[in-house]
Amino acid sequence: MNKRIFLSAPHMGGNELKYIEKVFESNYIAPLGEYVNKFEESIRSYTGVDNALAVTSGTAAIHLALRILGVGKNDDVLASTFTFIGSVNAIIYQGANPVFIDSDKESWNMSPKLLNKYLLECEKKPKALIVTHLYGMSADIEKIADICKLHGVYLIEDAAESLGATFNGNHTGTFGDFGIYSFNGNKILTTSGGGMLVSSNENWIKKAMFYSTQAKESFIHYEHEEYGYNYRMSNVLAAIGVGQMEVVEDRVSKKREIFEWYKESLSDVKEIEFMPELDNSRGNRWLTAMTFEITDYNKIMKTLEDINVESRPLWKPMHMQPLFKNAKKYVDGTSENLYNHGLCVASSTTMTKDDVKMICDKIKENLD
Ligand SMILES: *Cc1c(COP(=O)(O)O)cnc(C)c1O
């Protein structure tokens, strides 16, 4: 049996262990230290954002953003329905109500048209919007940002999956009031677990730092006027992040190459469609995602499992989840249709062209 091929396995660049050793030598094992600053600096210089805060997860970063924007009990928060739960859990933490907006066919991400229509029609103005750049592909973000400005809705970009993706040359995560990245185990870069909150607003990031470290007022005796969280990233994990950031462009190129291999190997199959890439954007192709005409993709998944290759259905939209059966939604069937027809296929950056060919042969055997 061949070695298991994962959807997106961790892929160290080579220097991570060396940096961890430096952390151990300095004994700054926790909580803070120079690698946290270095990791934040590497995100700032790579994405061009002015302020960054390293935290324990992407979910924590979204939570901090909502708290700082004043999202609270009974507020409405718009969100992509076609996303992973980590994108929206923090809405519940804040006692707010999610309102799910559907995707469009052009991007598979949030439809600016539906968003605009909802905002024109809705009786209760939402406080904020969380838009996901799914599978590393940029949403129609300039339009979405303009709509948010027009309607006075704060914008949080969930770029958990899309580090390195750009729209009109600017990095996803830098268009909104806040952006977040994730360094969970299977993201394009990983610190085993971690996240980053970014914003052009320095005061907000300072406030986020305050909340992420138990909201301690500046007294030696630990005075508290507000409640906070224990969300700050450790120096050990940040050392991994610094090593990972050295290879971010290599990882993006490799992910994009893997996508091209899939596209080439399946070019003779008409009934397969790949997740689109909007004009003027560059996706990081975190996971190659595709739809089939058939809806019974379980047999494709099973055949791939037989050769020890991981695959997974496209995210089940949030408005279809039992957890959100009573949530408001503004949908037209697009994401439900994608979910019914689509799979993510193995996209680990250690894969070879032959791996992709082998997977594509299996897919082709199961298309009817
Ligand atoms: C992974 C992910 C998150 C959550 O990030 P964590 O670091 O795992 O908390 C949020 N949104 C999306 C779209 C994700 O893929």
pLDDT tens figures, 261-315: 999 999 999 889 999 999 999 999 999 999 998 878 899 999 999 999 999 999 9
Ligand 1 centroid – CA 1 distance (Å): 32
Ligand 1 centroid – CA 160 distance (Å): 5
Same domain? 166 vs 150:
yes
Q: Which of 212, 245, 278 is the last residue of a domain?
A: 245
Q: Which of 197, 229, 245 is the last residue of a domain?
A: 245
Lowest mean pLDDT among 58-72, 227-241, 290-304, 351-365: 290-304
For residue 62, what are the domain limits?
Answer: 16-245
Looking at residue 358, which CATH number applies to its domain?
Answer: 3.90.1150.10
Asked whether residue 120 is assigned to any structural domain, the reply reads yes
> Which positions are catalytic?
187
Per-residue confidence band for 30, with pLDDT thresholds at 50, 70 and 90: low
Q: Which helix (H) or strand (E) holds 332?
A: none
- Which residue's C-alpha comes closest to atom 14 of ligand 1? 160
- What's residue 97's pLDDT? 98
For 116-150, the pLDDT digits (tens) are: 999 999 999 999 999 999 999 999 999 999 999 99
- What's residue 29's pLDDT? 75
Ligand 1 centroid – CA 182 distance (Å): 6
Residue to mutate (ligand 1; options 82, 134, 161; most atoms within 8 A of CB) = 161
Same domain? 280 vs 138:
no
Same domain? 146 vs 220:
yes
Q: How much is the mean pLDDT over the chain? A: 96
Same domain? 233 vs 257:
no
Q: Is the pLDDT of residue 2 over 80?
A: no
- What's residue 350's pLDDT? 96
Q: Which helix (H) or strand (E) holds 234?
A: none
Beta-bridged to residue 328, according to DSSP, are: 99
Same domain? 162 vs 258:
no
- What's residue 280's pLDDT? 96
The C-alpha torsion from 114 through 119 and 121 to 126, rounded to 10°, is 120
The answer to whether residues 327 and 98 touch, using CB atoms and an 8 Å cutoff, is yes
The region that residue 295 occupies, defined by phi over 0 for left and psi between -120 and 50 for alpha, beta otherwise, is alpha
Asked whether residue 1 is assigned to any structural domain, the reply reads no
For 178-223, the pLDDT digits (tens) are: 999 999 999 999 999 999 999 999 999 999 999 999 998 888 888 8
- What's residue 32's pLDDT? 74
For 102-117, the pLDDT digits (tens) are: 999 999 999 999 999 9
Same domain? 262 vs 238:
no
The CB of 182 under 6 Å from ligand 1? The reply is yes
- What's residue 50's pLDDT? 98
Q: Is the pLDDT of residue 31 over 70?
A: no
The CB of 342 under 6 Å from ligand 1? The reply is no
- What's residue 165's pLDDT? 98
Asked whether residue 183 is assigned to any structural domain, the reply reads yes
Asked whether residue 8 is assigned to any structural domain, the reply reads no
Same domain? 58 vs 113:
yes
The answer for residues whose C-beta is within 8 angstroms of residue 358's C-beta and 6 or more apart is 307, 309
Q: Which of 245, 277, 298 is the last residue of a domain?
A: 245
Percentage, residues of the chain above pLDDT 70: 99
From 200, 194, 284, select the one nearest 242 (Cα to Cα): 194
The CB of 57 under 6 Å from ligand 1? The reply is yes
Ligand 1 centroid – CA 223 distance (Å): 33
Looking at residue 22, which CATH number applies to its domain?
Answer: 3.40.640.10
Q: What is the mean pLDDT of residues 57-66?
A: 98
From 191, 166, 163, select the one nearest 248 (Cα to Cα): 163
The CB of 158 under 6 Å from ligand 1? The reply is yes
> What phi and psi, each to the nearest 5 degrees, are found at residue 90?
-65, -25
Same domain? 156 vs 75:
yes
Q: How many residues does the chain have?
A: 368
Alpha helices in the chain (DSSP H): 16-26, 34-47, 58-68, 89-93, 112-121, 141-151, 202-212, 235-245, 248-265, 298-306, 334-341, 353-365
What domain count does the chain have? 2
The CB of 59 under 6 Å from ligand 1? The reply is yes
Ligand 1 centroid – CA 85 distance (Å): 8
Residue to mutate (ligand 1; options 8, 53, 59; most atoms within 8 A of CB) = 59
